[in-house]
Chain A
Amino acid sequence: MSTHVVDAVPREARPYQGRRAGVVSRLAANTVDFVVIALVVAGGYFGLCAVLFLWSPTAFTFPETSWTVLLIAAGAVAFVYLTVSWATTGRTYGDHLLGLRVLNFRGGRMQVAGAAARAAFCVVFPIGILYALVSPANRSVQDVLLRSSVVYDWSR
Chain B
Amino acid sequence: MERILEQAPRFFSGPNLQLLLEAAGLTLAMTLVGCMIGFGLAFVLVYLRQTPGLWALPLRWICILYVEVFRRIPFIVVIYLVLFFIQAVTPDASLFTIAVIAICLYAVAYTADIIRGGLESVPKTQVEAAQAMNLSRLQTNLRIVLPQAWPVIIPPAIAFAVSFIKDTALVSQVGVFELTFRGKELNNQGYSGILVFGTIAFCYFLLSFPLSMLGQYLEKRLATPRGERRSRKIRRA
Does A pair with B?
A: no
Q: Which residues of A contact B (CB under 8 A)?
A: none
Interface residues of B (CB under 8 A from A): none
